[in-house]
A and B are shown apart, each in its own frame.
Chain A
Amino acid sequence: MVRVKSRYLLCEINVSDRRDLLKLDDRAVAGSVKAAVARTHGDYGAALCSIRFCVKYLNAHTGIVFLRFHKGFYKLLWSALPFITSIECRGQIIPCFLNCLHVGGTIRTCQKFLIRYNTRQLHQMLPKYKNKGNEEKRKIQEAILSCSLTGGGNKALEDELESEEEDDEFIMPLYHSDLRH
């Protein structure tokens, strides 16, 4: 009701070389976003980008990033994200692009979206698995089980969270990315 409002962008960093992912850190991501904004929107954009901009979360294994922007001008900043072609991290230039998956009003909605997104990916992955090696398939099954074994109590809460989502979530067309193999 009475608070500073933000938009959280849930983005996926796509790199050509998977190994580069582990080199990332949040400062590098933030720096590249700032540079891209400055490049596309000039000083004005750079100044806007200094207000409440922050990288909230970075998973170096999956390449998921939460970016926080001020609600007032997040669209402007968002428009600069496609211009990121590489992230410079400790002298190494990692070619990549950012793919925005979700825009949320709170970090919780982003988290919840991420849960849904990841589980869907896993569920899609299992029937597509064609290889004979049972080892890998078993691992996928285990992974699916480990993330869905949350207990009945949490399920109920999740439903409530879903309903809460309607208030908080800022629904935008999502950029779905295909699974990369």
Chain B
Amino acid sequence: MSAAKAKMREKKMRNQPASVQYPSPSHVESRAENGGEGDDAGSRTTLSISSGTSVTRAELTRILGGQSDAHPSWKRQQTPPVRHGWVRGHHNGDGGYDTEMPNHITAGAFARARAAEVSAMLKAATELTCSSHVFRALPKHMRRRAMSHNTKRLPRRLRNVANRMREKSLQAGLKKKKELVKSKSRKARRRHGNLLLEFNRRQRKNIWLETHIWHAKRFHMVKKWGYCLGVRPTYKCYRPCYRAMSSHCLLQDLSYYCCIELKGEEDKLLAALTQLTCKEAGPTFAAAMFLSGARQGSVTVYRAGQYPSDPLGPVTFLWRPQTPGLTPRQLWIWAHPALKQDLLPELQSVCQCSEAMAPPVEPEVSRAEADPSPQAEPNPDNELKAGAKRKRCCKDAGEPPAKRILGDGTRLPTSPVTWRSSSTGIVINDLTMEIVRYRLIGPQSHSVLAETLEAATVCDELKSSPFWWPEHCKDRSNMKLHQQQTDVFNVLKGIYSSGELPPGTVLGLTVDDPRLTLPRQKVKAAPCVNRDQVGDEEKRNQLMLKGVPLQCCQSFLWEQSVRENVTDNKISEQELNRMRTELLVPGSRLGPGPQQGRVPVLLVHQPGKQVGDELGSWGSGWDLLLPKGWGMAFWVPLVYRGVRVAGLHMSLKHSQDKAAPHFPHDYPDCPAGSRFQEEQEAEFLETFRRRPPAKRTNYIKHGCLAPFRCPWQQLAEEWELLATDGGAERKGDGQTQKARKSHEVMEEVTSQQTVAAASPPSFTVLSFLGHKFHKLNCIFLSAHQNRKSLRLLSSWCRPLTCRGQRRGRGAAVALPLSDSAVTSFHSAHKMSVVWVRLTLLSKGKPEAHAMVCAPTAEDLKLFGKSPENCGPQEPPHKDHYKSRINHKKKSSKTATPSQVSDDPTASTDPHSPSDLILGLWPDPLPSVTSHCSRVTLGWVTQGDFSLSVGRGEALGFVSVSGLLHTLLRQPPELRGTLLLRNPTSLHYRFVRLNIDV
């Protein structure tokens, strides 16, 4: 036994009674071991070999020895042994006890022995062993919770001991623990000014939307594109959100979308902007409908003059309606923040706006460069402001400002937001975070708006005031316009669904502060149903057919001065509540006085599903545009009307149900899209590598070459080669033959690559595949691009009905699918992939990066027999890399690194085993088209079980040449039937291909 252990045991046994006996040393050892597992035994004082025994004896002698004079024999017997290792049998000299022990019992000895035992037992029973805590001495009914933490819960007589023990344990803890930085108390931290300072500090990196605090309490937040955005609520609401979208109203904060304002002469603006777009892809900036300002348009923007190869991304735009007095036109381009960094330089170069104008420095701002919010400056003085408020402002001048940041908090106050062109006179203004944009999706979104907003009440005050509205009220024409807008808004209440309106309709409006009409409790906005008046019916029809009349699209939101005035003169929540308390009848509604703000807003209709035959105008709604600073004032009243609030996740699902590509997920050709893809791949790879190798999916065995990305470029190139080579011998080309063929082709590809790398790059030149950041040369055809050819392709994909007629809208324009037509189409669209929607015909849930494959003739035959057939299986592949990884592991274990490099197989191996990941194909990939038993046509970019269709639905791209190639071989009644296989599965499922135009 170690010394420390012995010491501990001795300490523990200090107060325990001694077992009075005479054990042999060997026995003592065994007892000691026994005692080790025991709890609080009594007899273990005898353990420390001879000294322990001697102590025992000494004690006993002390107890009994008082009477030693009366019994000298006892004393002799009890004399502690001098020798080390006391053994009873070797107790030489005395010759045993039996002679010493008297045969009779004397009362005194009897009593003494009992008394000694009693005192020993008493000591053992009353005093505690050292290891136990004080309150073990307490009976159970006196024990209290957290007694060891708070000694005051102990009876007073035990407190001292407990305190001592507690200090001891605390000191032991302190040695390890690092001293924490002492922060302010919670109360101090939560004080309003300090809280604002803290918020401002946290907003320095990522922009917070105005509804950030509201969202942060309820949503999972992510930092994306320089913003803090809510992804999905913390509560479960996937289906409720879908229900809200399809039957009521779903609310999203889209303020993170960037607005870029262009001002200038109309023809000069159009001349600059036409370089970015092309008429082929649909209406552009110059379309008459949009140019008037009555509709909002959307367009895909390309790099200047590069159509159709270098897209930037989709934008929506809105022209300001022409006012008679104003010649320069105003245009707002709304773009996704991921797109802004590409779009803004392009716009600057197109408009030749290189002169950066210094931001307008207000006189008050000059004193504090560090002020993070030059936009939100104190209000101009007026007599209405309370004196206390002014005092606060004066105090603020000396201190660091603790003001709410409105607008972009990350931007330096000195960085330019305005650029002017000296030659064309165009001014580009970056209005990021200057305008709040809320999106309401759903058929009842107009009723929500109608309940929340109330057209501004006219105030006829004659004296001049700092507010913009009384000034405007003086103008007769303004009032007339306001009346018209109010009428249209009232008519809007009566329509049945938001989808009935012409897409992109714009309505300008001036409304009262919605906080005044805030309901006490959450209510669900119901559609207005009084349809009795005949005149209203006519007006409604007019509105549904023609949209909002042009003059009503005008709004004062376009005016920067009005926007600033409205932002500055917003009544604070506190002030509003104070006014509420001063009401004569508590709980009655606050009347709109002159000092309460009138807010110019812009309502923009958002079209729903526009492509495809089924579920037309699903997911339509309204966008609400507000001046900054008023975000929460409108948000809470909207939420109180029973809308659901959703985050980024739901907007992805929204576009998925609309079968529309979502930016930046489904724009792999755009720079933002390719950036997104790289991020996504890294993220997926990270999660994949985090799993233990035995638990990972082995994608090689599943025959999935790229489970985390889609090598579009390689796909397009391979199909190009297949189409050009296979064109001659197309007839009777079995799939197996083709697969073999494609292997040969692949070799050609690799040989061509080396050539291509040397030759100067042109449009069709293959870029080096192994290079990660290659530029995509293939063209992504989607609904925003070449519509005519898409329509043709779409008609080809549809199966023939029994009468041999094609269904649908494309019937009139359709050319019959033939070799010649395909060749001509193919020559027009080389290296293209096309946006398709795939509907599963049986069960199954498609996932992202699932493969779209062409079925073989046998598959189709099987499918023709029983359409419920689940689909063929892919034979499992072999993982050749696994052995190499294992080999590498083994060799690294046994051999030194130098020996490994000497290994001939390792040196010839193109990829060193170190970057091999178990279950993933290393770069460069083999032929992606012919890797599996079914030829791959493309990949899915997003797929899920669609609640609107009731089946699995996937959206993705397929190669045009591959698609044509497949369609030609399919029997006409089964045309457009393809196979889909998830990356983690070997099961192919039949899908119907749709190209929605």
Contact = CB atoms under 8 A, between A and B. Distances in A.
Interface stretch (A33-41, A79-87, A106-114): A106-114
Among A19, A24, A66, A137, max chain B CB count under 10 A is at A19
A172 interface: no
Interface in B84-128: 88-89, 97-98, 101-108, 110-119, 121-122, 124-126
Interface string B510-552: 0000000000000000000000000000000000000000000
Among B22, B42, B116, max chain A CB count under 10 A is at B42
B97 A61 contact: no
A76 interface: no
B125 A140 contact: no
A24 B98 CA distance: 12
Contacts of A178: none
Given A25-B27, A163-B139, A111 B106 contact: no
Given A19-B103, A20-B98, A140-B111, A26 B125 contact: no
Contact of A57 (B17, B24, B118): B17
Given A112-B125, A164-B139, A64 B97 contact: no
A20 B96 CA distance: 11
A132 interface: no
B20 A114 contact: no
A111 B101 CA distance: 27
B41 A60 contact: no
Interface string B623-642: 00000000000000000000
Contacts of A21: 101
A163 to B, nearest CB: 5
Given A160-B138, A181-B107, 9 more contacts: A24-B21, A26-B43, A55-B43, A56-B19, A58-B21, A108-B40, A114-B121, A118-B121, A164-B139
Interface string B15-44: 001011111100100010010001111110
Q: Classify chain B's interface size.
A: 35 or more
Interface string A114-142: 11001101100100010100011101100
B97 A19 contact: yes
Contacts of B124: 111
A66 B113 contact: no
Contacts of B118: 114-115, 118-119, 122, 147
Interface in A124-181: 125, 129, 131, 135-137, 139-140, 143-144, 146-147, 150, 154, 157-158, 160-161, 163-164, 167, 180-181
A163 B137 CA distance: 11
Given A18-B101, A25-B23, A58-B21, A125 B122 contact: no
B315 to A, nearest CB: 68
B67 interface: yes
Contacts of A147: 114-115, 118-119, 122
A92 to B, nearest CB: 9
Contact of A54 (B34, B110, B111): B34
A108 B128 CA distance: 11
B140 interface: yes
A58 B106 CA distance: 21
Contacts of A150: 122, 126
Contacts of A59: 19-21, 113, 117
A66 B126 contact: no
A118 B21 contact: no
A22 B104 CA distance: 14
A144 B20 contact: no
B9 to A, nearest CB: 15
B42 A57 contact: yes
A143 B112 contact: yes
A158 B118 CA distance: 14
Nearest to A121: B114
Contact of B121 (A60, A68, A115): A115
Nearest to B34: A54
A137 B111 CA distance: 10
A21 B97 CA distance: 10
A26 B23 contact: yes
Nearest to A25: B21
Interface in B60-100: 67, 70, 77, 88-89, 97-98
B566 to A, nearest CB: 68
A136 B107 CA distance: 6
Given A118-B117, A147-B115, A164-B140, A22 B101 contact: yes
A129 B114 contact: no
Contacts of A20: 98
Contacts of B117: 59, 61-62, 64, 114, 118
A142 to B, nearest CB: 8
B761 to A, nearest CB: 76
Given A58-B43, A146-B115, A111 B121 contact: yes
Among B40, B121, B138, max chain A CB count under 10 A is at B121
A59 B43 CA distance: 9
B107 A118 contact: no
Interface string B134-145: 000111100000
B187 to A, nearest CB: 41
B140 A139 contact: no
Nearest to A159: B139
A58 B20 contact: yes
Contacts of A71: none
A3 B38 CA distance: 12
A57 B113 contact: no
Contact of B43 (A57, A121, A137): A57
A129 B122 contact: no
A112 B125 CA distance: 7
Contacts of A121: 114
Contact of A140 (B89, B108, B137): B108
A69 to B, nearest CB: 13
A91 to B, nearest CB: 9
A54 B43 CA distance: 11
A108 B27 CA distance: 25
A75 interface: no
B114 A143 contact: yes
B362 to A, nearest CB: 72
A57 B34 CA distance: 13
A129 B107 CA distance: 9
Nearest to A145: B115
A180 B105 contact: yes
Nearest to B141: A163
15 contacts: A19-B101, A27-B27, A54-B34, A57-B42, A58-B43, A60-B20, A108-B40, A111-B125, A114-B121, A125-B111, A135-B108, A136-B106, A143-B111, A143-B112, A157-B137
A61 B138 CA distance: 33
Contacts of A62: 113-114, 117
A25 B26 CA distance: 13
A60 B22 contact: yes
A164 to B, nearest CB: 5
Contacts of B122: 115, 147, 150, 154
Contacts of A60: 20-22
A119 B43 CA distance: 21
B642 to A, nearest CB: 53
A89 to B, nearest CB: 10
A144 B139 CA distance: 29
Contacts of A135: 70, 108
Nearest to A162: B139
Contacts of A3: 39
A111 B24 CA distance: 26
A14 to B, nearest CB: 13
B107 A140 contact: yes
A134 to B, nearest CB: 11
A168 B449 CA distance: 73
Contacts of A112: 121, 125
Nearest to B110: A125
B40 A139 contact: no
A26 B114 contact: no
B101 A139 contact: no
Given A22-B97, A90-B88, A90-B89, A111 B115 contact: no
